[in-house]
Structures are given as C-alpha cells and as structure tokens.
C-alpha cells in the first residue's frame, strides 16, 4: 500500500493549463504505480486548459464545483457539456479536450490516466 497525503502531494506543471494547480496523488513523482496515475486539479474561476488532443485516454471526475467540458474528435462535431460534483467524463485517445471554469467558485477535478497510449492494433 502506498499513501499520499493531500498535504504532501507533489505539484506539477501541465502544458496549456491556466489558473490551475495540479497535484499528483498517485504514480509518477507521487509514488509507485504500474498502469495509471491519479491527479487532482484545482481550477480557479476563469481557469482552463487548451483545446488539445492527447494520445492517451483520460477520465475526469468533478469533486467540487462546476466545469464546462469540450470534446472534439476528427470528423465529428464539437461536444460541450457541464459537469457538476460527482459527474464524470472519459476522453478517447486522440480526442481534443478542454476544461473551463466559467463560475465564480473553485472547481476540483480528479484525473485518472494510463502511463502509455494504447498498443497499436
């Protein structure tokens, strides 16, 4: 068993993340993990990510507050939805994704993602 106390979770910088604090909860510099890592993002009012694709599947769970999520796959129309506490979303590998806090309150979101992109089929 490996425990990470929130007070000891290492902060990390993610590209194209603005007005956000990103903490590593498990995996990478937070400790041992074989298949996935967990992070917590604290998103200030007006904070957001870029609308960027990733080769890695991502899962988000809103813990507190409200976020607008945008998703876009090649050849498909853009999707937008609002997530509130305990709502979750999965982004497919290669899907553009964006998180935006349009509210005047902090939002907290849990991120779970594998270390590596899926193997070629």
Residue pair 61/88 in contact (Cβ under 8 Å)? The answer is: yes
pTM above 0.75, yes or no: yes
pLDDT-based confidence at residue 118 (cuts at 50, 70, 90): confident
Residue 99 has pLDDT above 80, yes or no: yes
Rounded mean pLDDT, 17-26: 98
Phi, psi torsion values for 101, nearest 5 degrees: -100, 100
Residue 87 has pLDDT above 70, yes or no: yes
pLDDT-based confidence at residue 75 (cuts at 50, 70, 90): confident
Cα atoms in the Cβ-side hemisphere of radius 13 Å centred on 116: 6
Rounded mean pLDDT, 80-101: 96
The domains found in the chain, sorted by start residue, are 6-114 (2.60.120.10)
pLDDT-based confidence at residue 121 (cuts at 50, 70, 90): low
pLDDT-based confidence at residue 119 (cuts at 50, 70, 90): confident
Distance CA 118, CA 120 (A): 6
Q: What percent of the chain has pLDDT over 90?
A: 90
Task: Output DSSP code: residue 53.
Answer: E
Residue 66, C-beta contacts closer than 8 angstroms, at least 6 positions apart = 82, 83, 84, 101, 102, 103, 105, 107
Per the DSSP assignment, residues forming a β-bridge with 107 are 43
DSSP H helices in 39-103: none
Mean pLDDT of the chain: 95
């Amino acid at each position: 068993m490996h425990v990470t106390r929130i007070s000891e979770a290492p902060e990390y910088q993610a590209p194209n993340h603005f007005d956000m604090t990103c903490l590593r909860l498990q995996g990478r510099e937070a400790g041992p993990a074989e298949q996935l890592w967990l992070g917590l993002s604290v998103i200030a009012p007006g904070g957001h990510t870029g609308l960027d694709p990733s080769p890695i599947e991502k899962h988000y769970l809103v813990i507190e507050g409200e976020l607008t999520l945008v998703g876009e796959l090649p050849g498909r129309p853009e999707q937008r939805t609002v997530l509130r506490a305990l709502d979750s979303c999965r982004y497919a590998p290669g899907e553009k994704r964006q998180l935006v806090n349009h509210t005047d309150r902090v939002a907290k979101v849990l991120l779970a993602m594998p270390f590596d992109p899926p193997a070629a089929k």
